[in-house]
Amino acid sequence: MTARTAAARTTAARALAGARPTPYWLDDPEHRPEPASALAGDERCDLLVVGGGYSGLWSALIAKERDPDRNVVLVEARECGWAASGRNGGFCAASLTHGLANGIARWPDEIAELERQGARNLDAIEEAVHRYAIDCDFARTGEIAVATEPYQVQELREAADEAARLGIDADLTFLDRDAVRAEVDSPAFLAGLWDRRGVAVVNPARLAWGLRRACRDAGVRIYENTPALELAATGGQMAVRTPYGRVLARRVALATNAFPSLLRRVRPYIAPVYDYALMTEPLTGEQLAALGWKGRQGLSDSANHFHYFRITEDHRILWGGYDVLYHYGSRIADEYEQRPETFRRLAEHFFAYFPQLEGVRFSHTWGGVIDTCSRFSPFFGTAHQGRVGYAAGFTGLGVGATRFGAEVVLDLLAGERTERTALELVRRKPLPFPPEPVRWAGIGITQWSLARADAREGRRNLWLKTLDKVGLGFDS
């Protein structure tokens, strides 16, 4: 170990000492609602929503907006918003395709329309935040993708040109080294691409809790600590069993994200992976001045293993990403939410980007599970003669896209053809992941190859090129 590496380790360890091992956003007794009671006995409804993250909450809320007389029930295994929806980075993006580059690569003929519908979806979220008076610090700041390696500078330039060539109505500004450092100062930044309109930052837990309140005000009956255990057709409707009761529903919307779907056939499409984040203590005026981060834009860097970072209302920095952990057998467990070696690595990277912040401490460390699918963008479907609908596969970019997903699921359950259901993105599914042990080995080789590509100016090896050809990928 060189003296420099040893010093970086010490700085990281010092900064992490005493951090609370819990998601910052959920550690908020002032705003966190009292849990709703669990379901005991039988319930009947027109629509049952399973899952109380953004997907489920938007599904329930929009169902009531479309028809206020509809009888809607939502069951949540723990508490609404406890999972990814309450612990994410809070980047609420218009993109429905996990970013423009992935959208262009997979849906070149449809990308302009996907971007248009995505932009409308983000506008609708903003509008709902105001209409329901959801106090979630929603700020339409935009996002800057930064280049930290010379080869990425050209990629950012090309991305802006490509968007213009495809007729995509996006407000993208290329920033050279000085321009990007004038927005947020880091010696690591070589250039940036600022998407001014396509991203808002939010307080994610307060968005979930606000949607929960809006649902209840609209008459949705929410049961928490109520896992749906089994789904079966009975007498022309669906029956969902819970530990102490049962719900009979005309239609069911499944919004269970990375957790095992009640429909077994959906499971092969999803690989649950863990993503991690740190939150700093509030920065002092002096530290803020050293950063120059006035616009509160979200930022992310441009490698395969990328970081995302943003600043909060009270001037903390959220710093997340890089490591992505898959566990054999698609296992999900609370113990995976804390990973000291990842937190140490993230902290070292933080101080490498922002050496002027040496001495800043982290107040919170956490991880959460993401529903990666092989095309990194949501997929949709129905089962039981159209009585059950689902959306999943948001792959780490679901804060905005889950609202669009909810609209699609409601369209499908109503048997309606809309501009959304006409999209190829909605009509076609991704390739499923192979069963174990091939799944585990394949993800491992892919992650190793992605890290190697990052170290070799983005050059992809034969394995990645083959996956690109068949449309199979792995991302967070």
Ligand X SMILES: Cc1cc2nc3c(=O)[nH]c(=O)nc-3n(C[C@H](O)[C@H](O)[C@H](O)COP(=O)(O)OP(=O)(O)OC[C@H]3O[C@@H](n4cnc5c(N)ncnc54)[C@H](O)[C@@H]3O)c2cc1C
In the numeric block, which tokens belong to residue 422?
A: 């006409």
If one asks whether residue 397 binds ligand X (CB under 6 A), the answer comes out as yes
Shortest distance in whole angstroms from residue 242 CB to ligand X: 8
Q: How far is the CB of 355 from ligand X (least distance, A)?
A: 25
Report the residue from 26, 190, 205, 255 that binds ligand X according to the rule CB under 6 A: 255
- Binding to ligand X (CB under 6 A): which residues in 213-242? 227-228
| Secondary-structure percent of the chain, ordered helix, strand, coil, rounded to 5 | 35, 25, 40
Residue 281 to residue 321: CA distance in whole angstroms: 19
Contacts of 225 (CB under 8 A, 6+ apart): 35, 38, 76, 77, 78, 79
How remote is the C-alpha of 243 from its chain's centroid?
29
Q: Which of 19, 26, 62, 93 binds ligand X (CB under 6 A)?
A: 93
> Which residues from 159-218 bind ligand X, rule CB under 6 A?
none
Q: Which two tokens stand for residue 327?
A: 């566990």
The C-alpha angle with vertex 67 and arms to 58 and 38, in degrees rounded to 5, equals 55
Cβ proximity of 399 and 54 under 8 Å: yes
> What does the per-residue mask of binding to ligand X show for 13-52, with x meaning CB under 6 A?
-------------------------------------xxx
Min dist. Cβ of residue 215 to ligand X (A)? 13
Min CB(368)–ligand X separation in Å: 3
Q: Where are the alpha helices (DSSP H) in 383-458?
A: 401-414, 424-427, 438-455
Q: Which stretch binds ligand X (CB under 6 A): 87-95, 351-359, 417-425, 437-445?
A: 87-95
368 binds ligand X, rule: CB under 6 A? yes
Q: Which of 102, 256, 287, 297 is in the footprint of ligand X by CB under 6 A?
A: 256
| Interface stretch with ligand X, choices 24-32, 82-90, 288-296, 453-461 (CB under 6 A) | 82-90
Contact pick of 19, 36, 48, 54 for ligand X (by CB under 6 A) = 54
Q: Given phi > 0 = left and psi -120 to 50 = alpha, else beta, which region is 335?
A: alpha
62 belongs to the binding site for ligand X (CB under 6 A): no
Instruction: Give 138's contacts (C-beta < 8 A, 6+ positions apart).
Output: 92, 125, 126, 129, 200, 201, 202, 207
Is 75 a binding residue for ligand X by CB under 6 A? The answer is yes
> Which three-class secondary structure state does DSSP give residue 158?
helix
- The residues binding ligand X (CB under 6 A) are 50-56, 75-78, 82-85, 87-91, 93, 227-228, 255-257, 259, 262, 275, 277, 308, 320, 368-370, 394, 396-400, 402
